[in-house]
Structure 1
Amino acid sequence: MTIDGALPEELDYFSPEFNDNFDEIIAEILEERPIVRASGMWIVTRHEDVRAVANDWETFTSSRGTIPWNESGAHFRPTAVDPPLHPHFRDPFAKLFAPRAIGPLEPFMRQEARALVAAIKEKRECDLDADLSATYISNVFFSGVLGLPREVAPKMLELINRWNLPPFDQEALAEYGRYVDEILRSQLEVPERSPMIEALLNLEVDGEPVAWEDKCNTLSLLIVGGLDTTINAINQSLLHLATHPDLRAELVDDPSLIPAAVEEFIRRYPGVVGLGRSATRDLELHGQKIKQGDRVMVGFGTAARDPRMFDDPLEIDVHRQAQGHLAFGSGIHRCLGSHFARLEVRVALEEFLAAIPHFTLDPESQPRITTGIGREVHGVRLLIGDELG
């Protein structure tokens, strides 16, 4: 945070000032410091450096956990393992998230989105979390991808938000792990499991089945990655459109621009601000000495705002080429579900804008933006109607 016009030597990442002035502080950091100390960790900020660190798993290991500020908990597979273990946990799912594999789910996505949007249109108001994003993503991901009962999603989301956002409830993380264990055990007697669960239960390393705990940790990652980040992408996108009527009108008039808009929304409002690594050796980056064992945040969210990479980075420009962004990460730990997430968000926006071209933010709505591993918005309420323009 800026104090008397200058950045302090170490930032308080968890302070209200940092949360409330995130864009301004990050812009200042990007201008002045390619690497900054914050709450006991180093944040690598600039696009070029973030890509380099994310690709150097030998120097910046994930094996000590991916929560940036400490090594406790959330040792999910495959993000928290490096080679040679890493491909054993990633490769079985890569083909299941490939564009050819997820494409057939689009009609199901549209069916789910249309039903929710129709109800919103009739009600003429919308709580984004309850009425659209959380319900839509939960239904699509749990039913369409995991083949799990969609009824388990609300509890999953409640636990994820408790451990993933300040004040970072560690008991919620433990409870989340126990609940994932319970859900996975319930699948053991299911005669026809989804390809995703089947791949999970058959995970092997060098021909030997992996431990049950590792299977649960892998499912834990699939769920948190498949729910939280995409819900936030839809919330951020529709909040932006509710407060930028010119852009909304442009997308309504020319829906072919929606895929480019999705890419921009994901770049501008990445679901993951940064993930944690640990330095495996002493090194120096831009003159700053990093010691072996130091915690490092790979700043995917700050890289998305780097003016060296993107002109006017805080603007949503549907005519720019934003494919170079790092919102889905980079290197061996790049998000497995990036194609799936893009499709989910695109379908949601296409269906919403086709049915509801006019909406605005409820003046009594008080959106809450919270910074943790991600930067999430909740409490968004929209009003629907032609008279609102």
Structure 2
Amino acid sequence: MSYDSTAVSGERAGPAGESIDDDWCRNHFDHLSQELVDNLYPALTRMRSLCPVTRSNQYGGYWVVTKYDDVLRVAQEWETFSSAFGLTVPPSPIATRNLPVEIDPPLQREFKRLINAYFTPKAVRPWEPRTRALVNRLIDGFVERGECDLMAEFARPYPALSFFDVAIGAPADQIERVAYLASKSGAPKDPDAAACWRGLSEWINGFLEQRRCEPPRGDVVDAILSAEIQGRPITHEEIIGTVQLLILGGLETTAGALGQIMLRFCRQPEIPAALRENPDLLPQAVEELLRLDGPFVQITRTAMHDTEIDGHQIKQGEKVIIYWASANRDEGEFPASDEFDLDRKINRHMAFGVGPHRCVGSNLARMNLRIALDELLRRLHDLRLRDGAEIHFHPTVNRAPVTVPVTFTPGPRVGADG
């Protein structure tokens, strides 16, 4: 059961934009350009064919890697391609390192073990009833109108409300503000990024100070506050960096995935129709949707010594950007790679990364997506993009639509219990 997915995720059909020619691909590739954002998948397809490993002269120079096998190798070989020397090009306004993403093993393993136990399938399963109630409460806010902006009214508030309430127990009256700060602080070209980061940092410090004064809850925040790292107490900066990653890693990514998936449902109504007929296929569908429309587009590594990728000589200290979004549509790994295929037998996608830095929140993200899609499919019928809607994406490392204005058949409110 497969469906042609050409040009359904916001990218233009056909060749990439006029400014994305062969010379641009080989020498001037700009991962933060609006041209790339508007033509992401056609451009990455062109890169895989024309120059799967190439060096761009933008932002002081960096390598771009787009083929599945090469991306997999760079992600797994942490001793050669380090996460500890800057993850963004150009540098991020965020001063405190995100832990454990911006350190390497063996220290990285201690931080990952610290938080892994709180995001296993068994750990997140008890959160499902509250999560489903939250989803229905959000849908109740717009279902009677027969129209909404799914990004503003569902996709962005949902992961924030879920994470801050269920996972770390933040005060409910602070959630909207901190979610806004988190999403803006992670946008490299946003003029408010630095100010929003400062605001987010202040919030994290205040939240942690409050938690220190409260009785323990036995959650991940308590575990971080009382942790020992390599036989010593965790430092305040390490606490901030770990909580910071939990926040930044899960909000805009889940929102972006939901936004792109709902765009696909609008443009390929046969997919939601098939899932309504066969709801048991939803977990499998989530994996295929993450492969096609994963929100985490790319990440940067630093070469720790002279090495090579596919015959190209990489010098010590040079930056290497690997493209998850390209690897996930590599024709060599995924037959009919641009098609949504519910019968895909092997789906080793990289939507959550691979190697030692694979996303610690993947189980929570899968649960959030599965429950959200289950309820949205059940309650929103005849889903369409609003007439004349123009879909745009921000130029960041995460792919999320700015807005997804939709119409649908109005339905009744059901209350928080669904």
TM-score with structure 2 setting the length: 0.87
Residue 65 of structure 1: aligned partner: 86
Q: CA deviation at 1:117?
A: 1.9
Measure, in 2, the Cα distance between the counterparts of 1:194 and 1:234: 30
Kept after mapping to 1: 8 A contact 2:306/2:313: yes
C-alpha spacing 1:71/1:17, structure 2 compared with 1 (3 Å)? closer
Q: How does 1:237-256 map to 2 (within 5 A)?
A: 237-256=261-280
Q: CA deviation at 1:337?
A: 0.9
1:369 maps to a residue whose letter is F
Q: How many residues align?
A: 387
Structure 2's unaligned 5+ residue stretches are 1-18, 412-418
Structure 1's unaligned 5+ residue stretches are none
C-alpha spacing 1:9/1:302, structure 2 compared with 1 (3 Å)? same
Counterpart among 25, 29, 32 of residue 14 in structure 1? 32
Counterpart among 33, 37, 41 of residue 55 in structure 2? 37
Identity %: 31
Q: CA deviation at 1:174?
A: 3.5
Q: CA deviation at 1:310?
A: 1.1
Kept after mapping to 1: 8 A contact 2:186/2:248: no
Kept after mapping to 2: 8 A contact 1:70/1:295: no
Measure, in 1, the Cα distance between the counterparts of 2:236 and 2:294: 32
Q: CA deviation at 1:91?
A: 0.3
Kept after mapping to 2: 8 A contact 1:273/1:301: yes
Residue 46 of structure 1: aligned partner: 67
2:289 maps to a residue whose letter is F
Q: CA deviation at 1:261?
A: 1.6
Measure, in 2, the Cα distance between the counterparts of 1:188 and 1:127: 38
Greater CA deviation, 351-360 or 171-180? 171-180
Residue 82 of structure 1: aligned partner: 104
1:289 maps to a residue whose letter is Q
2:382 maps to a residue whose letter is H
Q: CA deviation at 1:333?
A: 0.5
1:161 maps onto 2:161 in alignment:
no
Residue 132 of structure 2: aligned partner: 110
C-alpha spacing 1:4/1:206, structure 2 compared with 1 (3 Å)? closer
Greater CA deviation, 20-29 or 185-194? 185-194
Residue 368 of structure 1: aligned partner: 392
Q: CA deviation at 1:5?
A: 8.1
Measure, in 1, the Cα distance between the counterparts of 2:201 and 2:153: 27
Q: Is the partner of 2:20 in helix, strand or coil?
A: coil
C-alpha spacing 1:74/1:317, structure 2 compared with 1 (3 Å)? farther
C-alpha spacing 1:303/1:151, structure 2 compared with 1 (3 Å)? farther
Q: Is the partner of 1:43 in helix, strand or coil?
A: strand
Residue 256 of structure 2: aligned partner: 232
Residue 362 of structure 2: aligned partner: 338
Bigger RCO of structures 1 and 2 (CA < 8 A, at least 6 apart)? 2
Kept after mapping to 1: 8 A contact 2:301/2:320: yes
Q: Is the partner of 1:311 in helix, strand or coil?
A: coil
Q: How does 1:1-389 map to 2 (within 5 A)?
A: 2-3=20-21, 7-38=25-56, 39=58, 40-70=61-91, 73=95, 75-168=97-190, 169-321=193-345, 323-385=347-409
Q: Deviations over 1:230-282 (max 9, x none)?
A: 11111111111011111121112211222122111111111211112111001
C-alpha spacing 1:376/1:71, structure 2 compared with 1 (3 Å)? closer
C-alpha spacing 1:32/1:238, structure 2 compared with 1 (3 Å)? same
Q: CA deviation at 1:209?
A: 1.0
Kept after mapping to 2: 8 A contact 1:273/1:374: yes
Greater CA deviation, 211-220 or 71-80? 71-80
Q: CA deviation at 1:145?
A: 0.8
Measure, in 2, the Cα distance between the counterparts of 1:344 and 1:166: 26
Kept after mapping to 2: 8 A contact 1:147/1:194: no
C-alpha spacing 1:134/1:69, structure 2 compared with 1 (3 Å)? same
Kept after mapping to 2: 8 A contact 1:68/1:277: no
Q: CA deviation at 1:309?
A: 0.9
Measure, in 2, the Cα distance between the counterparts of 1:171 and 1:117: 32
Q: CA deviation at 1:283?
A: 1.2
Measure, in 2, the Cα distance between the counterparts of 1:76 and 1:232: 20
Kept after mapping to 2: 8 A contact 1:69/1:295: no
1:131 maps to a residue whose letter is E
C-alpha spacing 1:74/1:30, structure 2 compared with 1 (3 Å)? farther
Kept after mapping to 1: 8 A contact 2:252/2:398: no
C-alpha spacing 1:5/1:87, structure 2 compared with 1 (3 Å)? closer
Q: CA deviation at 1:60?
A: 0.7
2:71 maps to a residue whose letter is V
